[in-house]
Amino acid sequence: MRVIETVAELRAALQPSRRAGRSIGLVPTMGYLHDGHLALVTESVAACDVTVVSIFVNPTQFAENEDLSSYPRDPDRDLALCREAGADIVFLPGVDDIYPAGFQTYVEPGALAEPLCGAFRPGHFRGVATVVAKLFNMVQPDTAFFGQKDFQQVAVVRQMARDLDMRLAVVSVDTVREDDGIAMSSRNAYLDATERRRARCISRGLFAARRAFEAGERDAARLLALAREPLSEMDSVQYVELVDAATLQPVTGAVERPAAICVAGHIGNTRLIDNIGLDIEGSRTVRDAA
Ligand code: PAF
């Protein structure tokens, strides 16, 4: 496994593979890797000849009051995990490699970036789309792998790739959960033991709603009520919404097309998000641990 820090070196390292027609997979991450990230690496290693993992805590997707400076980092551990998972290249650029002096061009996503997290994190998806577009240009992967936990991010990135004629497949991989149902997230590291226990309420509500959906319940309000009920254990709920999986717009009345219930809020000072798919065609079901 090679560890590469500059864009020039990355392009040079990938050129022979590209010339030889070998397929390239990209797993973009912000590091502090957990089993959710490693599932993406494993998918890429299985599907592609060469797997590149990028590790970059992207400043442009954090607002002023967010956790950029405290975002957890452990590059040595990340490298060991990537090696173990079979990655070929880890790209570890510095901020100046991605945003050199004079940088001024951004990717502005459209309507898919407006609801849900977009309403609470102004500029977040602009930062995500910009860095992901840059990583796509640097690596030129055939396939890029993203976690379904970031449901809206996957939708925004897919739309960007379509709109900007990026020639690659965007694959989303099921959320990996702890045994007690909590979705894996680098931010879980912020939780103390009591908060960690309280955080279970998010997946508990989502699983309850999905069980009802699988038993035939189609009324969006009733499904939402099931997801919302345990969230009284959270310190704040930013949103709990049942949205159309394609448009991310709220569903009212009956759920008749693939949909998802999405939640965001705080346990203590930690912002957590999670979601569950309701009959999302082609997606594998999330392991129900609650
Ligand atoms: O999902 C993440 O970790 C980040 O948003 C991404 C896709 C690596 C872009 O910085």
Mutation probe of ligand 1 site: the residue of 57, 58, 138 with most atoms within 8 A of C-beta:
58
Domains belonging to the chain, first-starting first, are 2-176 (3.40.50.620), 186-281 (3.30.1300.10)
Ligand 1: nearest atom to the Cα of 57: 10
Compute the distance from residue 55 Cα to the ligand 1 centre, in Å: 9
220 CB within 6 A, ligand 1: no
Name residues whose C-beta falls within 8 Å of residue 149's C-beta, 6 or more positions apart in sequence.
36, 175, 183, 184, 185, 273, 274, 275
- Judged against a pLDDT cut of 70, whether residue 194 lies above it is answered with yes
92-124, pLDDT tens digit by residue?
999 999 999 999 999 999 999 999 999 999 999
- CB 30 less than 6 A from any atom of ligand 1: yes
CA of 154 to the centre of ligand 1 (A): 10
Residue 146 in contact with residue 29, Cβ under 8 Å?
Answer: no
What is the structure's pLDDT at 290? 32
The mean pLDDT value for 26-45 works out to 98
Counting residues of the chain whose pLDDT is more than 90, the rounded percentage is: 96
Q: Which residues contact 183 (CB under 8 A, 6 or more apart)?
A: 36, 149, 175, 176, 177, 202, 203, 272, 273, 274
> Whole-angstrom Cα distance, residue 196 to residue 92?
30
- Please tell me if the CB atom of residue 131 comes closer than 6 angstroms to any atom of ligand 1: yes
Are 54 and 97 in contact by the 8 Å Cβ rule? The answer is no
pLDDT of residue 279: 81
Return the pLDDT at 127. 98
- Looking at the CA of residue 29, tell me the nearest atom of ligand 1: 8
Among 90, 117, 125, 131, which residue has the most ligand 1 atoms within 8 Å of its CB, making it the best to mutate?
131
The pLDDT of residue 199: 98
| Residues linked to residue 270 through DSSP beta bridges, in sequence order | 267
CB of 150 closer than 6 A to ligand 1?
Answer: yes
Strand boundaries in the chain, DSSP class E: 2-4, 24-29, 50-55, 89-91, 143-147, 169-173, 236-244, 259-267, 270-278
Q: For residue 101, count CB atoms less than 10 angstroms from its CB and return exposed for 0-12, middle for 13-18, buried for 19 or more.
A: exposed
- Cα 25 vs. chain centroid, distance in angstroms? 16
- What's the rounded mean pLDDT across residues 251-275? 97
Write down the pTM of the prediction.
0.95
Tokens of 92: 């570890």
For the Cβ of 58 lying below 6 angstroms from any atom of ligand 1, the answer is yes
Q: How far is the CA of 24 from the centre of ligand 1 (A)?
A: 18
Query: 267 pLDDT exceeds 80?
Result: yes
- Residue closest via CA to ligand 1's atom 2 equals 29
Q: Hunting for tokens 């976690």 — which residue is that?
A: 147
CA separation for the pair 183, 93 (Å, rounded): 27
Separation of 111 CA from ligand 1 center, angstroms? 19
pLDDT (0 to 100) of residue 282: 44
The answer to whether the CB of 220 falls within 8 A of the CB of 252 is: yes
The reply to whether ligand 1 has any atom less than 6 angstroms from the CB of 132 is yes
From 62, 132, 173, give the residue whose CB has the most ligand 1 atoms within 8 Å, as the site to mutate: 132
Of all protein residues, the one whose alpha carbon is nearest to atom 9 of ligand 1 is: 128
User: Is there an atom of ligand 1 within 6 Å of 29 CB?
Assistant: yes
pLDDT tens profile 56-95: 999 999 999 999 999 999 999 999 999 999 999 999 999 9
44 lines ligand 1 (CB under 6 A): no
Q: What is the mean pLDDT of the chain?
A: 96
Q: Which atom of ligand 1 is nearest to the CA of 61?
A: 10
288, pLDDT greater than 50: no
Burial class (CB in 10 A: 0-12, 13-18, 19+), 264: buried
